[in-house]
Amino acid sequence: MYLDNLVGVFGHPVAENPTCVMQDAAFDHLGIRWKYLTIEVLPDDLEAAIRGMRAMNMRGINLTIPHKVAVIPFLDEVAEDAKLIGAVNTVRRDGDRLIGENTDGKGFLRSLREDAGVDPAGAHVVVMGAGGASRAICVELANAGVASIALCNRSAERGEQLAGHLNAHTRARTTFHRWDAPLTIADEVTIVVNATSIGLYPDVDECPLVNLDSIHDGQVVCDVIPNPPDTAFLKQARARGAKTLDGLGMLVYQGAIGFRMWTGQDAPVSVMRSALEKAFA
């Protein structure tokens, strides 16, 4: 079969990566002859793989573990927010040039605005976790004008490093909190984000260490976990009157933003979301 355009993902291990399900569903829905390939690339082969995608005129590529940072030297340009995040999850083509982008935090922000109806400008925010997902979310929240970020992490080194980075390069006032006891959410906080891997399948009963009774209505509680989307943490938050936002929205929108970068067309987000829901079920 001849295809007009190829995109895909490089990772290792990558077999379980769900993105092809939603991107191919979007291509089929719009009736365009594009294909998303899930490609196992070993760390030592990344440079050759990027040369290969250039040679095959692929329109773009996603990067997942362990390539999000390692890919940077092989690109022609990196977008400003991806530079600040320090990682690239999406490569798009501009003519012959390969441009590195990071759509994870943008996907979170779009989900926050469109699904939860919340504008984060001026908000006081709590973010749990200081890994890649947290970094992308914090940078985009800071770019969106939040007033403050209380960053909580189990290991001090990663948390302090990220808080220092955000204070040096963004206007959001970021404080680091060592997270070794149940976290009480301050009253002024309106957005709470679990950006750790706690709650990810199969550990579906796990909940971040939070004093749940400090959650109340007027807050939006968000989780990055896409599978299962309705985590134990979100259920507990909803039971206390908070609005909740699941990680499936972030996953869909980060893909939808990449889809638009590659194809120039608006992505059919509801088609992409139901394709993923089916795959996870």
- Which one, 57 or 175, has the nearer CB to ligand NDP? 175
Answer for which of 17, 219, 254, 263 binds ligand NDP (CB under 6 A) is 254
- Which one, 144 or 225, has the nearer CB to ligand NDP? 225
Is 116 among the residues that bind ligand NDP (CB under 6 A)? no
Is 198 among the residues that bind ligand NDP (CB under 6 A)? yes
In the complex, least distance from residue 37 CB atom to ligand NDP, rounded to whole angstroms = 20
In the complex, least distance from residue 77 CB atom to ligand NDP, rounded to whole angstroms = 23
User: CB of 248 within 8 A of CB of 273?
Assistant: yes
Per-residue contact string for residues 75-114; x = within reach of ligand NDP by CB under 6 A: -----------------------------x--x-------
In the complex, least distance from residue 256 CB atom to ligand NDP, rounded to whole angstroms = 11
Residue type, 278: K
What residues form DSSP beta bridges with 7? 36
Chain residue at closest Cβ approach to ligand NDP: 131
Answer for which of 82, 123, 125, 130 binds ligand NDP (CB under 6 A) is 130
Alpha helix segments (H runs only) across 31-155 = 46-55, 80-85, 104-114, 132-143
Enumerate residues 36-55 that contact ligand NDP by CB under 6 A.
none
Is 197 among the residues that bind ligand NDP (CB under 6 A)? yes
Is 226 among the residues that bind ligand NDP (CB under 6 A)? yes
Is 106 assigned a catalytic role?
A: no
Helix (H, G, I), strand (E, B) or coil at 262: helix
Q: How many residues does the chain have?
A: 281
- Which one, 3 or 65, has the nearer CB to ligand NDP? 65
What residues form DSSP beta bridges with 127? 151, 193
Is 258 among the residues that bind ligand NDP (CB under 6 A)? no
Residue 205 buriedness (CB in 10 A; 0-12 / 13-18 / 19+): exposed
Those residues with Cβ within 8 angstroms of residue 241's Cβ, 6 or more apart along the chain or in another chain: 215, 216, 217, 218
Output phi, psi for 240, to 5 deg. Answer: -100, 15
User: CB of 69 within 8 A of CB of 100?
Assistant: no
Q: Catalytic residue numbers?
A: 68
